[in-house]
Structure 1
Amino acid sequence: MTPPVLTVSALAKRFGATVALDHVDLSIGAGEIVALMGANGAGKSTLVKILSGVYRADAGTLSLAGRPFAPDSPQTAKRLGVATVHQSIADAVVPSLSIADNLLLDRLCDAASAWHTPPTARLRSAAPFAARVGLDVDLSAPLASLPLAAQQLVTLARALATRPALLILDEPTASLSAPEAERLFALLDTLRAEGVAILLVSHRLGDLRRLADRVTIVRDGRIVADLRPPVDFDAAVETMIGRPLRDAHERAAETRQSASEAHAAAPGFRAHRLQLTPRAVPFDLDVRRGEIVAIAGPVGGGKSRLARAIFGAERLAAGRMSLDGEPWQPRSPAQAIRAGVFLAGEDRWRTSLFADSVPFASIAGTISFPFLPRWFPRGTVRRAVEARAATDAIVRFGIRCTGPADRLTKLSGGNQQKVVLARWHAQPARLLLLDEPFQGVDAGARADIVDTLRAHARERATLVFVSDLEEAFEIADRVVHFDRGTIDPAALSESVHPVPS
């Protein structure tokens, strides 16, 4: 028998008093897709970062294709045959460079003379990599000109350019539309047939059902289950979080009816004859106070643009809006925040979080930042006030950390997302806008977030913008379909019904 492509034996890693990995064993064979499931903070990201050369293990051994594997950097890991597509595309691209140069970035960085290659030659070299992932764009354009989903495909194409023996994918469909995800699935089927070993980290059960040859579950830094199809994913989720998972629709029903009755007459947010672009079909939208409405539709259909327009970050082509019965025409996000209209943006690192070099990069600083003028009108930040607000948020959202001073870069992706959502619960909102709020959040944490959002929904209107229909039906009182910059009246759901299995 051929040896596994990857073998992990007794791998251990600590960060101070926190045990991130505790004697983890794992193997992946050639042409096998292994799904790694785990709650936020369970150790998945630590394992991925050790395999990709970001961290060094404290104990244990790794082997790749039968040879010892101990990468001391991501560059070394790639050179030895491990390519990683991280959840945050900021880890893998340079937005100011062209798409072609981003596709060839590893090659260009290995050879200084490569930058002197004529641009036309670089375009020719990059074209096959773009074609392999179905990326049909002008490769000479800046990467920053692409939508988020296309940038995600660039990072995947760049990873495949190294011809890896092991490909690691961290939430690869988070920014993709359904057709784009299907193209990715077809590509992964091809890679599997070619003998590439694939480690897939995803919280989307549909991805796992479609792709996984095996499901490995990690909890509290340990492997607690290794499952082969047919996998009972309800049982797998309960194993992952270590407790029974109540049905999401039953939980929602506990608050939905009372909220609807109590605020049936409250105006909340209303939009009349809105047009995001001059050619878009006008639409109306009505969200009562106490109600959660999901705007569901494909990536690139205009949902995020609508959220930004309501928040004052973009201009409408036409139409009127009102909030609590008064005209609503925000000129800027700052004005929206002052008025109690909050937006948790789709890309948390671009819209909500700070790099370590910024003073507000801690949990406490992240939560307080939008409210500095209100909390500290004299201009002096009182750290004790920040810390109290952050401690309350940590408890309310179940953020796994050591305390309010933790840097966001030290948290898992799911816990980073919880901090973003907690920020916009630090002050009462009149209208809360949540754009893809469950990105990178495991099923157990998602259920907790839904409970928290519902518990605080009574005195505000809430709009949730999602591309995953399962998420829409889990969180919302009503779901409307949004595509091509408008609402499809025929797809309007007056009330939520369980998603068929």
Structure 2
Amino acid sequence: MPLLEIENIHRSFGSTRALAGASLVIGRGEIVALMGANGAGKSTLVKILSGVQSADSGAIRLNGRDFHPNSPAQAARCGVVTVHQSTDLVGIPDLSVADALLLNHFVDGRQSFFLTRRTVRKAAAAILAEAGFDLPLDRTFADLGPADRQLVAIARALAIKAELLILDEPTASLSAEEAGRLYQTVLALKARGISVLYISHRTADIAALADRAVVLRGGRNVGSFTRPIDFDAAIEAMIGRPLTSARPQQRSSQGDVVLDLRVVRLRSEAEPFDLQVRAGEVVAITGVLGAGKSRLLSALFGLGAFADGKTYLEGKPYAPRNPAEAIAAGVAMAAEDRHRSSLMPRDWPGETIAATISLPHLRRWYPGGLMASGREAREAARAIGKLGIKAQSPAQSIWALSGGNQQKVVLARWDAEPSRLLLLDEPFQGVDVGARQDIIAAIRANTNRATLIATSDPEEAFEVADRVLVMEHHSLRRASDNRAPALLEEHA
């Protein structure tokens, strides 16, 4: 008997069909990857399994019994636990790792009212021992990296005897080394008979872990692939059209030098390096997390400073003291965490697509504070058509869009006004294959500006760039064109 059986699930939100007959079977001790473009129905299916939402129709059985949880807590009691991409809510920042491991126990009253640090540490140590993890119990949860936060979430799931673990984009914020550690953890869970539903846009994750891959498109199953997974066929099923795997043709000529870094140091102890980026050129910098990629882009956008060296923008000295000065000089940036850095909070006046695009241009578009909405709406409508943004209208909330469409809106913000240098930090994080192709096409279509991209994924770097540079210990160690498989293998 399979552990989980999902048959013909439907779920609509008004006139929008999120699921239109989705089905899925997961055996005991099986790792099943769930693939699909943004908006394919993956998140809705996970929310139904987690008890966050209910299905309109269809059947779900767990261990042969009807399974329709009405909350995440009830789903967990039945043995289904979800670990989300963002681990910010796994623990409270000021609490210790031991406290974070026992949060579920505190909430449902399984721990005695009278507790001591010794009893808390003992119970937390038992949870870690059962999971086979080694984490510092007394460290503050806020000090943990993304990988260790994932382990805390998984350990808590195992402590409540999870039979099915749902992992939603678990490697999105992890380095290659940290992702490797997570792979080992997931495979160890499989060996213990725990089933895993694994949602990821990264084919490397799926190739390393999945026994099967199930593809959703338009809320229904469009393909199922067993190991070894044919990713060309799976991706074509995801996006509904052939996917060209050819990397961009390196441009034979570019324009004048836009960005010129001479003997710069990101840190006083780091090796100096030079960098030139020309108009019409796309340069990607790859390397592990913490190598200095984001630090470089932040310094260029006025969010930090170089320790040493000279920086020129179109031949003139360039040292912005803040983002406003960078924008005034023609430099634009989309930071790594779009939710915190590029989008207004939910239910704020500026949370629409139109307002998101116009935000950094308000002084030029509305001199004297005259807030006519015409230009906002026109620019947003143009972006929706040009980038293929799936939205109802320019007035739609940015938070109603999928991750890939949100990123398209952020990119459209910097296409709305001419810029000379575009800085993109992890632009494909949480973006599906189809949306990624649209974003790459939009990036490369602009031949008037220079583009500098930071990404931890070498495959993404080679896919988008004319040149790929490798950053290590806050210095550019080596350069390559986008035909260098050895470099890809070294840093994959």
Give me the TM-score of the superposition, normalised by structure 1: 0.90
Measured in 2, the distance between the counterparts of 1:418 and 1:105 equals: 37
Change (3 A) 1:198 1:276: same
Alignment match of 2:430 (pick from 440, 450, 456): 440
Per-residue deviation, 1:41: 1.0
Measured in 1, the distance between the counterparts of 2:182 and 2:224 equals: 25
Number of the residue aligned with 1:185? 183
Alignment of 1:364-383 (within 5 A): 364-383=354-373
Alignment of 1:75-224 (within 5 A): 75-90=73-88, 92-111=90-109, 117-119=115-117, 121-127=119-125, 132=131, 136-137=135-136, 139-143=138-142, 145-224=143-222
1:452-480 CA distances to partner (integer Å, 9 max, x unpaired)? 11001x11111111111111101111111
Alpha-carbon RMSD: 2.4
Structure 2, unaligned stretches of length 5 or more? none
Measured in 1, the distance between the counterparts of 2:377 and 2:91 equals: 34
Number of the residue aligned with 1:492? 479
- 8 Å CA contact 1:393–1:422 kept in 2: the answer is yes
Matched, 1:337 2:327: yes
Give me the TM-score of the superposition, normalised by structure 2: 0.92
Matched, 1:462 2:447: no
Measured in 2, the distance between the counterparts of 1:115 and 1:335 equals: 56
Measured in 2, the distance between the counterparts of 1:230 and 1:123 equals: 43
Change (3 A) 1:455 1:272: same
Q: Secondary structure at the match of 2:443?
A: helix
1:106-159 CA distances to partner (integer Å, 9 max, x unpaired)? 22322397787345544454456567585645743251x444454444444444
Measured in 1, the distance between the counterparts of 2:283 and 2:270 equals: 21
- 8 Å CA contact 1:470–1:499 kept in 2: the answer is no
Q: Secondary structure at the match of 2:178?
A: helix
Matched, 1:23 2:21: yes
Measured in 2, the distance between the counterparts of 1:76 and 1:372 equals: 47
Measured in 2, the distance between the counterparts of 1:135 and 1:332 equals: 41
Measured in 2, the distance between the counterparts of 1:142 and 1:182 equals: 22
Change (3 A) 1:309 1:148: farther
Number of the residue aligned with 2:391? 401
Q: After the TM superposition, which segments of 4 or more aligned residues of structure 1 sit over 6 Å from their partners? A: 112-116
Q: Secondary structure at the match of 1:187?
A: helix
Amino acid at match of 1:492: A
Matched, 1:243 2:235: no
Per-residue deviation, 1:385: 2.5
Moved more, 119-128 or 388-397: 119-128
Q: Secondary structure at the match of 2:415?
A: coil
1:180-204 CA distances to partner (integer Å, 9 max, x unpaired)? 1111111111101111111111111
- 8 Å CA contact 1:33–1:192 kept in 2: the answer is yes
- 8 Å CA contact 1:176–1:299 kept in 2: the answer is yes
Measured in 2, the distance between the counterparts of 1:276 and 1:66 equals: 58
Per-residue deviation, 1:345: 1.4
Change (3 A) 1:154 1:415: farther
- 8 Å CA contact 1:435–1:464 kept in 2: the answer is yes
Measured in 1, the distance between the counterparts of 2:451 and 2:327 equals: 15
Q: Secondary structure at the match of 1:320?
A: strand
Number of the residue aligned with 1:48? 46
Per-residue deviation, 1:247: 2.8
1:324-352 CA distances to partner (integer Å, 9 max, x unpaired)? 11111111122222322122111222222
- 8 Å CA contact 1:269–1:321 kept in 2: the answer is yes
Per-residue deviation, 1:270: 1.6
Structure 1, unaligned stretches of length 5 or more? none
- 8 Å CA contact 2:83–2:166 kept in 1: the answer is yes
- 8 Å CA contact 2:80–2:165 kept in 1: the answer is yes
Measured in 2, the distance between the counterparts of 1:333 and 1:115 equals: 51
Aligned length: 486
Matched, 1:298 2:288: yes
Q: Secondary structure at the match of 1:492?
A: strand
Change (3 A) 1:397 1:498: farther
Identity of aligned residues (%): 50
Per-residue deviation, 1:446: 1.3
Moved more, 398-407 or 164-173: 398-407
Change (3 A) 1:165 1:375: same
Moved more, 289-298 or 99-108: 99-108
Alignment match of 2:253 (pick from 242, 252, 261): 261
Measured in 1, the distance between the counterparts of 2:136 and 2:339 equals: 25
